[in-house]
Structure 1
């Protein structure tokens, strides 16, 4: 039987596979996070009619004589190029800009995806994808420390942030050495008492010698009482802090509800970041503590920080999304549902947070498919014509065989 007939068959099979891949790409043109496929061909083995021979005497060498036996599929790649982003306005719609994959889990199985259509499981508050697989993230404790291991992340829409008494205050910025004697700067801070009630307190900085004194108004009295001294700070000629006194602020507060005796709240100040250099005075006084608040919304930052926004103005980070990166993303296995799985040729996942060589996260957006319809239609035409050309090889070979049969009548 003619070799050309079987070569034509191999070509038809290959172009049929190419059409299958093109069809799948076009079918997923609107699939969020989808990465298109690409087929490449390579020649099959060749039949050697005669081998090569080297030069001998006055005669040059002779090249080998080989007849190819058709083509076969070389690769079917995943083309993981970045695609455009579509803004949705939904807080749990996330897109990755750059390398990386979201990490989701069901049972002990890990999967990877670029599709960031996430939501909340109403039963547990876990962040899940459309198929219910749980999104993995690093937890963050009250001190802002990130956990070493990632796991399921929960968001309780009905969460309440308990009240916390003010115990510390941090002072930063500059208190100008150029200010005139007696100059005053007034900063207003919020102090939360032991019952969770918030009080607005004024702190006045007054220039005195090489430093500044700090006072706060006394409680209303008859006759008016003198301002309460909180302490003082002094700086050297280079603007560096030299002395501070006292170590604790004693803030007067009005009587608690149902009581008549005024109170004094002890707050420990941290003035180590204050400077006394030339220029404008820009002191910033930031106390800790907060009144009770209810969760009103949550947001996701560029590095994957999942933060809850509470009615008392506090923003608390509860977790940081885990992002995986592979040395060979094209080696990942498609498992359906916009999910990918690690293979022996993808490399092991390098898991960490976004922005650490793994791209950044765009919140309230989704990554569109990277399928280009104009390119796919062109590839479709190429595959169609290639398929037709291979069928001509078969029909031509058939005509030659018919002529052979007709030699004897």
Structure 2
């Protein structure tokens, strides 16, 4: 009887703990990025009444006889399944579609979160609602690719992108192999001089009378009278359509108005003597339309007008000169055992000795992608929680009946003496 009473007490304690977890789940049904909890039970030790015996020649074996002594908690799990994404339309609201956690820092302490409601502080740092700084990979200014180092990311709304002089002009796509001799294809481009001034020039491609050869004129009309001399000539292999001219690039030095003879390529107001490298190694001559694209580098000075965050975590700054620069790439962490993460409150998790070392990288590389303008909802299912609440309540009531019944039997024993 005493054993049944203590079994009932253990059951009541366990169901109370389960009810606590259910209550916490329901309380966080609308908490962004929240991961629900789950309680499982196991039986405790069993008191041996009689052990098992083996079968003999004249008698069969007997099973052990044991009396259980109640139940205890087995686990309190955190369920890290993904939840639905709620569209908010806010640029700094970010959801993770797939595996991974945002990395945020407070000093040297690193935390992880699925709640992506971020903000900018007065220094332009990207932070969460409690001011913890969101971590992102730095971007190489030359290659515009993420480096291996991640840290705080700041968006300076007053940033000014300095002017960069044009140095390389790439010519790609195709010049039609069916073009007639003397036909001209023209594309106007904008180039920037050493003073940061923008100039428009025309690049003309003229089909030469020589087979599989094109003449290139820069800021000089090949249809003029008298006809100017071509700046360079490109020859193609008729079988493969790739350039046979060696080298496949040439240097062109713009000349300002009044500094050379009229036959020279004049650009009014040009400043600087830096040669422009025209590279046509990726240009072809095959059947079809002429689709040559002339793409110069360089840019004028521009101020930051806006920024956005892409699906691969790239934070793009849009400048008034039309340039788009990547300011950083958000870092995502994933763990070999997500259930081993320790809740730290405020929608944050911490690594534990059983979660594994955080594997931090950019989105998409074995991790989820970013859903801009969305927030991940709580993964709590109210119908499931209320069902579990009913089962827990009935289990608690059943265990109280064990205690009251045991108490009644003990009362009968006490009354035997009367």
Please, what TM-score do these two structures have when normalized by structure 2? Answer: 0.91
Partner of 1:316: 325
Q: CA deviation at 1:307?
A: 1.0
Counterpart-to-counterpart distance in 2, 1:165 and 1:216: 18
Give 3-state SS (helix, strand or coil) of 2:250's partner.
Answer: coil
Give 3-state SS (helix, strand or coil) of 1:243's partner.
Answer: coil
Is 1:134 aligned to 2:136, yes or no? no
Q: Deviations over 1:365-385 (max 9, x none)?
A: 111111111111111111111
Give 3-state SS (helix, strand or coil) of 1:380's partner.
Answer: helix
Counterpart-to-counterpart distance in 2, 1:166 and 1:31: 51
Taking the TM superposition and a 5 Å limit, the aligned residue runs for 1:33-112 are 33-112=33-112
Q: Deviations over 1:139-167 (max 9, x none)?
A: 00211242222111111011111111111
Partner of 1:247: 250
Partner of 1:231: 232
Q: CA deviation at 1:300?
A: 1.2
- The answer to whether the 8 Å contact 2:256/2:268 transfers is no
- Give the length in aligned residue pairs: 403
Higher mean C-alpha deviation, range 11-20 or range 189-198: 189-198
Q: CA deviation at 1:261?
A: 6.9
Q: Deviations over 1:94-129 (max 9, x none)?
A: 11111100111111111000011111121x221111
Q: Deviations over 1:363-404 (max 9, x none)?
A: 111111111111111111111111111111111111111111
- The answer to whether the 8 Å contact 1:105/1:134 transfers is yes
Q: Deviations over 1:7-59 (max 9, x none)?
A: 11111111111111111111111111111111111111111111111111132
TM-aligned CA distance change 1:165 to 1:79, over 3 Å: same
| Structure 1 unaligned regions, length at least 5 | none
Q: CA deviation at 1:211?
A: 2.6
Question: How large is the Cα RMSD of the aligned pairs?
Answer: 2.2
Counterpart-to-counterpart distance in 2, 1:98 and 1:366: 13
Partner of 1:20: 20
Please, what TM-score do these two structures have when normalized by structure 1? Answer: 0.93
Partner of 1:364: 373
280, 283, 294: which one aligns with 1:271: 280
Higher strand share: 1
- The answer to whether the 8 Å contact 1:52/1:64 transfers is yes
Q: CA deviation at 1:253?
A: 5.7
Counterpart-to-counterpart distance in 2, 1:19 and 1:312: 60
- The answer to whether the 8 Å contact 2:254/2:270 transfers is no
TM-aligned CA distance change 1:48 to 1:218, over 3 Å: same
Partner of 2:264: none
Give 3-state SS (helix, strand or coil) of 2:59's partner.
Answer: coil
TM-aligned CA distance change 1:260 to 1:342, over 3 Å: closer
Partner of 2:414: 405
TM-aligned CA distance change 1:252 to 1:185, over 3 Å: farther
TM-aligned CA distance change 1:390 to 1:299, over 3 Å: same
- The answer to whether the 8 Å contact 1:307/1:315 transfers is yes
Q: CA deviation at 1:225?
A: 7.3
Q: Deviations over 1:187-242 (max 9, x none)?
A: 221111222222222222222231322223349xxx97755734222111211221
- The answer to whether the 8 Å contact 1:217/1:226 transfers is no
TM-aligned CA distance change 1:391 to 1:312, over 3 Å: same
Is 1:217 aligned to 2:216, yes or no? no
296, 308, 323: which one aligns with 1:299: 308
Counterpart-to-counterpart distance in 1, 2:385 and 2:214: 72
Q: Deviations over 1:277-318 (max 9, x none)?
A: 222222121111111111111111111111101111100001
TM-aligned CA distance change 1:69 to 1:253, over 3 Å: farther
Q: CA deviation at 1:184?
A: 2.4
Partner of 1:373: 382
Partner of 1:158: 158
Counterpart-to-counterpart distance in 1, 2:270 and 2:111: 60
Q: CA deviation at 1:265?
A: 6.2
TM-aligned CA distance change 1:261 to 1:396, over 3 Å: closer
Counterpart-to-counterpart distance in 2, 1:30 and 1:118: 17
Counterpart-to-counterpart distance in 2, 1:398 and 1:262: 103
Q: CA deviation at 1:185?
A: 2.1
- The answer to whether the 8 Å contact 1:218/1:226 transfers is no
TM-aligned CA distance change 1:392 to 1:346, over 3 Å: same
